[in-house]
Amino acid sequence: MDDAPVHARVLVASNRGPVSFTLDDDGTTTMRRGGGGLVSGLSAVVGSRGAGTSEPTGKADVIWACAALTDADRQAARRAPGGRLDLAGHDTGGAAVRMLDIPPPVFHRAYNAIANSTLWFVHHLLYDTPITPNFDVGFRREWDSYRAYNRAFVEALADDAAPGAKVVVQDYHLTLTPGMLRERRPDLRIAHFSHTPWAPPDYYRMLPDEYGREVLEGILGADHAGFLSQRWADAFVACCETFLGARTDGRTVEHRGRRTRIGVHALGIDGPALSQRAGQPDVDGRYAALREIVGDRRLVVRIDRTELSKNIVRGLAAYREMLRTYPEWQGRVVHLAFAYPSRHDLPEYREYTAAVQRIAAEIEDEFGTEDWGPLVLQVNDDYPRSLAAYRLADVLLVNPIRDGMNLVAKEGPILSERGCALVLSREAGAAAELGEDAVLVNPYDISGTARALHGALRMPAEERLERCRRLAATASALPPQRWFADQLAALD
Ligand code: F6P
């Protein structure tokens, strides 16, 4: 790539990058832009004055390092000089992208076994503890791969960073990167951001001591460790105290002579951009089709990846209990449940998807009549259809067991046309911001959630509209642009 910088002043590192590739029949690859807050966040700082510095920055000042996730990504990465993709004509938020071709077995063990089956499970409290986890010799091998995967990012970042550059490392895939990078390039200013919750010490201690400490020390290699809510930040600090004996005043953690600042940066929605997208013809088309299905009935919507932490099975059980306990809703309400595929390499996720489908069939079987389908479960990913459902919803159900933030809870109220009531798990990071205007639930309490759904459906229209307006204002108060700029500013 001609204009690719040799050294960047701002670097982003994340497992999933801003683009992905598909393999065409003739062996060529086609690039697709990924969505997500990070891309929008970057656009705001790249090309403007700053990228968090006092000087103007050009397009080439930012490099985004990410992993090749599929065979098509690998091919594209191999063909790219130095792994730097040719992004002509694609909006990646203005960054050059370096895609790392990490050997598939190493990637698989790091991503599936450690990041998604260990760290994700720990932070979301997902283990079925009589059976899992099992930290045996196989786990130790997987951990070596997690180290190697983090090391690959470190090498790329160290090669690409200008002296004193800012490096913003994202998430649980890359917890070791800040510490390793600090050793290799002490001149860099490094931030780490966790998009997940953080486990409380009593759960975190399930990890073998040396690995639990390695993760904490890895993140403490950063100058700034960011979290989506105060609760997750506090849990991280508590783990540092408990397992490292680190000193802390709550806002900084001191360990081995270094000090890391702890920051809370809630992530919200770019409201105008989302509304603009939701007004496109493809969304209007889906809107009309959904209206047809719902008719003049009330509508409860949920939209999730089919992810263990999203608690879809209990959400459906709560809807079933509502229909049983408050039979006046039978025939008068429809539940649209969009449960998009996720992490199907992992058996737990495949089994969970089957459990979602099972309970959906049971509900249909128990209540369905010739002219009323109580539940529409869709498992194919269709973004415009999700936007159409947000526009139509009377009630939005977001009931995760635990969630770093949950952006569905924020998108829904922004797009709602008649004002939707939000039934929200108190265990989602978003509850800290939206709790006052949402109906909060304990995600394990199926009867409580059923009552909350009933109450939300009965909420007077005016109150619903008023609450929804406030929810939308809060949800768009901290757009991704602001969130990303804050992370950079924290390194000044
Ligand atoms: O919640 C943290 C997060 O990084 C999300 O931003 C993202 O949706 C998910 O975890 C990772 O998903 P995947 O494994 O599909 O990349």
Mean pLDDT of 226-238: 98
186 plus 331 within the same structural domain: no
14 lines ligand 1 (CB under 6 A): no
171 lines ligand 1 (CB under 6 A): yes
215 plus 232 within the same structural domain: yes
12 plus 82 within the same structural domain: yes
Residue 467 belongs to a domain? yes
338 plus 387 within the same structural domain: yes
Give the pLDDT score at 306.
94
Q: How far is the CA of 15 from the centre of ligand 1 (A)?
A: 9
For 157-179, b/e burial (b = at least 16 CB within 10 A) is bbebbbeebbbbbbbbbbbbbbb
Mean pLDDT of 427-435: 98
Q: How far is the CA of 408 from the centre of ligand 1 (A)?
A: 14
Give the pLDDT score at 351.
96
Residue 457 belongs to a domain? yes
Give the pLDDT score at 50.
37
- Does residue 78 have a pLDDT over 80? yes
Residue 2 belongs to a domain? no
Is 392:290 a contact under the CB 8 Å cutoff?
yes
445 plus 465 within the same structural domain: yes
Q: DSSP assignment of 252-313, as one string?
A: EEEETTEEEEEEE------HHHHHHHHTSHHHHHHHHHHHHHHTTSEEEEEEEES-GGG-HH
449 plus 396 within the same structural domain: yes
Q: What is the CATH number of the domain that holds 360?
A: 3.40.50.2000
Q: Tokens for 306?
A: 């089919």
Mean pLDDT of 409-438: 98
Among 44, 66, 56, smallest CA distance to 9 is for: 56
Rounded distance, CA 416 to CA 399, Å? 19
Give the pLDDT score at 227.
98
223 plus 282 within the same structural domain: no
Average pLDDT, the chain: 93
Rounded distance, CA 492 to CA 489, Å? 5
The 10s digit of each residue's pLDDT in 99-122 is 999 999 999 999 999 999 999 999
Give the pLDDT score at 32.
84
162 — alpha (psi -120 to 50), left (phi > 0) or beta? beta
**35 φ, ψ to 5°?**
-90, -155
Residue 347 belongs to a domain? yes
Give the pLDDT score at 56.
36
240 plus 301 within the same structural domain: no
- Does residue 135 have a pLDDT over 60? yes
Among 314, 343, 311, smallest CA distance to 124 is for: 311
Residue 1 belongs to a domain? no
- Does residue 35 have a pLDDT over 90? no
Give the pLDDT score at 25.
87
The 10s digit of each residue's pLDDT in 47-67 is 443 333 333 344 448 999 999
- Does residue 36 have a pLDDT over 80? no
298 plus 428 within the same structural domain: yes
286 lines ligand 1 (CB under 6 A): no
pLDDT band at 440 (very low <50, low <70, confident <90, very high): very high
3-state secondary structure of 55: coil
Q: How many separate domains does the chain show?
A: 2
Amino acid symbol at 95:
A
Among 12, 63, 56, 62, smallest CA distance to 36 is for: 12
333 plus 364 within the same structural domain: yes
Question: What number does the ligand 1 atom closest to the CA of 111 have?
Answer: 14
| Among the ranges given (176-180, 316-320, 377-381), the one the predictor scored with the smallest mean pLDDT | 377-381
Continuous H helices in 70-172: 71-79, 104-108, 120-123, 137-160
Q: What is the best residue among 14, 16, 349 to mutate for testing ligand 1's pocket, by most ligand atoms within 8 Å of CB?
A: 16
Question: What number does the ligand 1 atom closest to the CA of 15 have?
Answer: 16
- Does residue 217 have a pLDDT over 50? yes
Domain that holds residue 117: 8-267+481-489
- Which residues, at least 6 apart from 340, have a Cβ–Cβ distance to it below 8 Å? 303, 304, 305, 306, 379, 380, 381
Among 100, 185, 189, 183, smallest CA distance to 148 is for: 100
Higher local confidence (pLDDT), 191 or 55: 191
The 10s digit of each residue's pLDDT in 79-102 is 888 788 877 656 566 678 999 999
Rounded distance, CA 97 to CA 62, Å? 9
215 plus 299 within the same structural domain: no
Residue 255 belongs to a domain? yes
User: For the chain, how far is it from start to end, CA to CA, in angstroms?
Assistant: 30
Q: Model pTM?
A: 0.94
485 plus 460 within the same structural domain: no
User: Which residue's CA is the closest to the ligand 1 atom numbered 5?
Assistant: 195
